[in-house]
Amino acid sequence: MNPPPFTTVVALDSKHFQEFRLASQTWKKNRPEIWANPMLCFVDTAPPPDGESLGWWTRLLKRTTDHPQLKVVAWPPVPGASQRHRMLSSLVYGPAEHCETTFFLKIDTDTLCLKAETRWHENWWNEKEPYEFVTGAWGYSRGIDRWKRLQAWAATVPELACRPEVPGTLEPGKDHVRHGRIISFFFWGRRSFMQELARLAPGPLMPIDSQDGFTWYCAHRLGRRYAAVRIMKFGLYHGARGMEKRVKAILEEK
């Protein structure tokens, strides 16, 4: 099943570049569609140690990555914002502004494509009953304070405030909220929904420092269709532990 044209989007900083360098080799080998379509890298251009200049990133990626349609986009510092909050925000506002295809694939730097795989979820681009996104299923949101800040922000947005609140259960002794939600290390989405989120929460920062939490919460509260699936069954592995050894084995496999 061949997907329609899409853009792969990645957020990069100095800490995660080596993961990208390794993991992207498995994307190229086992998901060649990623190499046949455009790629956007949103790079941290804050001063070292987190980032480098746009010129530095462009030269590095040109030297180490042979993607034929790679575009490097600077993601600059935001006064008072954490590096995490700023770079995760790039994965909402970046596709909204810079993606030129209807669909995009957001993939984390510690996500490996384990084997040659042609399956995609049957409704990832179904136009009759469209999903805003398809990604992995998860069971809780980390950080009660983060959850409360998200709810407080939503109460100020008319399009959300008029809708039912998203359910969640607090568990004694745990700093998380239990509910069925998403994890987005491999996230197939629509550019138009990111543009809608950018209108609801004009950047440069999301209301909270969680791209998947913010995206899922808004979709759920707006009553939009999305799918949270067993994403690993599509030939994926998520995690940085032992990455170099895993990548070597994947690349050597015939």
Q: How far is CA 123 from CA 59, 164, 184, 226, in A?
A: 38, 26, 17, 10
Instruction: Please give the structure tokens belonging to residue 69.
Output: 């349609």
Q: Could you tell me if residue 1 is inside a domain?
A: no
Distance CA 31, CA 117 (A): 7
Q: pTM higher than 0.85, yes or no?
A: yes
Say whether 163 sits in a helix, a strand or coil: coil
Which range of residues forms the domain containing residue 223? 6-252
pLDDT of 205 > 80? The answer is: yes
| Domain tally, the chain | 1
What does the pLDDT look like over 69-113, one tens digit per residue? 999 999 999 999 999 999 999 999 999 999 999 999 999 999 999
Q: What is the CATH number of the domain that holds 103?
A: 3.90.550
